Amino acid sequence: MKLKLKLGLIGNAIAKSRAPAFHIFLGKLHGIEVTYELFDPKTTTNRGFIDQLNYLCDNGYNGCNVTYPFKQIAMQSVQSYEASSQLVGATNTIKFSTERCAINTDYSGFIRAIKSKLDTVDLGSSLILGAGGVGCAVAFGLASLSRGTCHIFDTSAIKASELVDALRKNGSDALVVQQSELKTVSHKVEGILNCSPIGHYQSPGMPICSEYIGNQKWAFDAVYTPLDTEFLQTCRNANVRTISGFELFFYQGLDAFEFWTEQKANEQTVKEAFIHESGLDATLI
């Protein structure tokens, strides 16, 4: 009998997510019948998210992904979690079995993405724009790859401070960046990473002044809809090496699929096939 997998994604502004296509595609490659639906609670409250998660649990879903702005709230709704979620304090992937188990494939996926693109590069110090769920995962992932100072900026000073404190407790060198310090800090770091929603099709624009880009060696954007953001275009025009949000999308999705199915996927085969089937511009990935 063909294995079936019923999945969903809970988050706001997810109408253009490529996650359904990707997981259905992964299912076809591995002989699994996958359904994947989108659920937008239209609210950022704990109650709205918990009600949605309970609905999935009560209606035969095997698991779900969680995206903005629920990744941290989701940790309050599971019975167990793997080390990645505990480290980051957020989850983007939950499996429903005898209990709800959480992992953080943003963390593992970011590490895989960076290694696939910058394995020979000294990552050095960095400036991370955004201290939400994905910003936390990326910060801890980066800290595992580089000893350079991690500078954190968020429009919420509280969020930035909390992330810096968590990184320091884990033995990493981290500093809060104020708005007035962005120009100075951006000019001295090796890497600049957008982990804010700015650049998404529903919140277009630049997460930082374009004049602050150019001195860095590399840049990463967590946004992947659109694939080629204004931030990435600005970085490329300034001869900064770029890593698109597709890389994080791909590797976190692959890790989630393996978590749900307990099957190992062939990374390179899957990546090439999905890019081809989706008609994506490989030069932007």
**143 and 234 share one domain:** yes
pLDDT tens digit at each of 285 positions of the chain: 678 999 999 999 999 999 999 999 999 999 999 999 999 998 888 999 999 999 999 999 999 999 989 999 999 999 999 999 999 999 999 999 999 999 999 999 999 999 999 987 899 999 999 999 999 999 999 999 999 999 999 999 999 999 999 999 999 999 999 999 999 999 999 999 999 999 999 999 999 999 999 999 999 999 999 999 999 999 999 999 999 999 999 999 999 999 999 999 989 999 999 999 888 888 888
How many angstroms separate the CA atoms of 14 and 251, rounded?
18
Residues shown for the chain:
285
Domain that holds residue 19: 3-105+247-284
**For the range 163-167, what are the long-range contacts, defined as Cβ-Cβ under 8 Å and sequence gap of 24 or more?**
163/131, 163/135, 163/136, 163/139, 166/89, 166/136, 166/140, 167/139, 167/140, 167/143
User: For residue 269, what are the CA distances in angstroms to 12, 115, 222?
Assistant: 31, 17, 23
Residues 198 and 149 in one domain: yes
Shared-domain flag, residues 195 and 266: no
Do residues 280 and 212 share a domain?
Answer: no
Report the CATH number at residue 31. Answer: 3.40.50.10860
The Cα-based distances of 52 to 23, 85, 160, 239 in angstroms read 20, 20, 28, 44
Give percent of the chain above pLDDT 90.
Answer: 90
- Do 131 and 229 share a domain, yes or no? yes
Number of independent structural domains in the chain: 2
For residue 215, what is the domain's CATH number?
A: 3.40.50.720
